[in-house]
Structure 1
């Protein structure tokens, strides 16, 4: 049995969260408990996970400082807490950390799953909310009581080939607006593969990941190579017209847009700029630590996307 016998997941109804919980439950008796911390135990997804064997514990709707005692109560007996909460809740992880310390949790996995934060956060304001979380976990105050593991995987494969990244894919019609020259490589990883990697970390010797940043890479390519992947995957049916249009937006134009961008566009332009500047590429990876996790390639993903 793994050293982490009781695993809790907050944000467990997300794509990664669901896949992680299901993976941990695949082998009966491997863990004493796989726990879903949820605001709504009666939701459809919560009930589905409970039916598979997950224990559900209700937590407060607000992850505030005032909720720390209640959160600590929900974390009683938990060895490792994996946070998969969305971007809007990243700063609230401060309270999850303090609750984990109160409850005696051994290891905390913050919700990161992105680019190299230590290297690029200063120039990408959108990811700035993650920085205080790392700083707190590394502080002497917390590090003596709570271990951590950071997991980086570049961009999500599903997110890259989406309208958010200026792809419009519909049957035999494709349009893409490429950030920069299209010749800068970027790292992409399928969310389900990230979940499998997390599961293997939790199953492994804790020393492998204790207070470390592990990088997991599904695939890497340039925008132009991604364009070719999609083009080659298009089904050419006799008598059916296919179309593929490509435009390019320079770094200078993206930087100009960022000056006035707000909300959704503010986030989008920053992430597009990061791909064009080479900030979306992981410098290396630790895939070999868990060779059983075979990541999905971009070619495999795109083949299913355009069918």
Structure 2
């Protein structure tokens, strides 16, 4: 009980810190509505504590199958911190912000090739947008995209070399997939594989599709809002994190479907051996 309370409390505090991080790193002149941010941080911490304190899952997937959720959280945490430092550099430059600024702009130049998602984020900005803002958006996009690719590669390595999720013991489908009902909708393996393909395809296409949608909906969505540092941090972080999270979820579901199929083949082989014995 003490271990569960402590773990849930630590997770809640870390989630609250994530939400408050842009306000803590950005200058006061670049932050808006600190009271709202504090309220959101407290609410997120309370929800996280309630989820991990409870013995019964509600909506968080793979909570008993590390390191998937930890890798996703670390990736988002890095995105928020680094983009916050990048957005702070033009306002209050420091040695650390200069380092992040140099790294991000270098990545932006390297990844700015034809039809790349980084190029599309620049093209979605209105024609009258200041070149410095366009370059900053592309640099932030490149930085977060590299982090997202690193998180995906890390999870692939965890599956390949750590035998995820069996490296942590038996995998409980009900605990780790609380929103998935294995008793309805046909064969479990086929449903998992279908959902996995949808997640992976959607995760691959979203970084390309979102800038295109924003460009087409220029009358309703103003990309110039990214000139606000806090908006830049959360929008660009979400643009990279959500697709990466979808791809990692799809890979996880493919892995689970493969394990279920292996157990089925082993059970059929044992049944045939008993019949022929």
Q: TM-score, structure 1 length as denominator?
A: 0.24
Whichever of the two has the greater Rg, that structure is: 2
Question: By percentage of residues, which structure has more strand?
Answer: 1
Point out which structure has higher relative CO (alpha carbons under 8 A, 6+ apart).
2
Question: By percentage of residues, which structure has more helix?
Answer: 2
Q: TM-score, structure 2 length as denominator?
A: 0.26
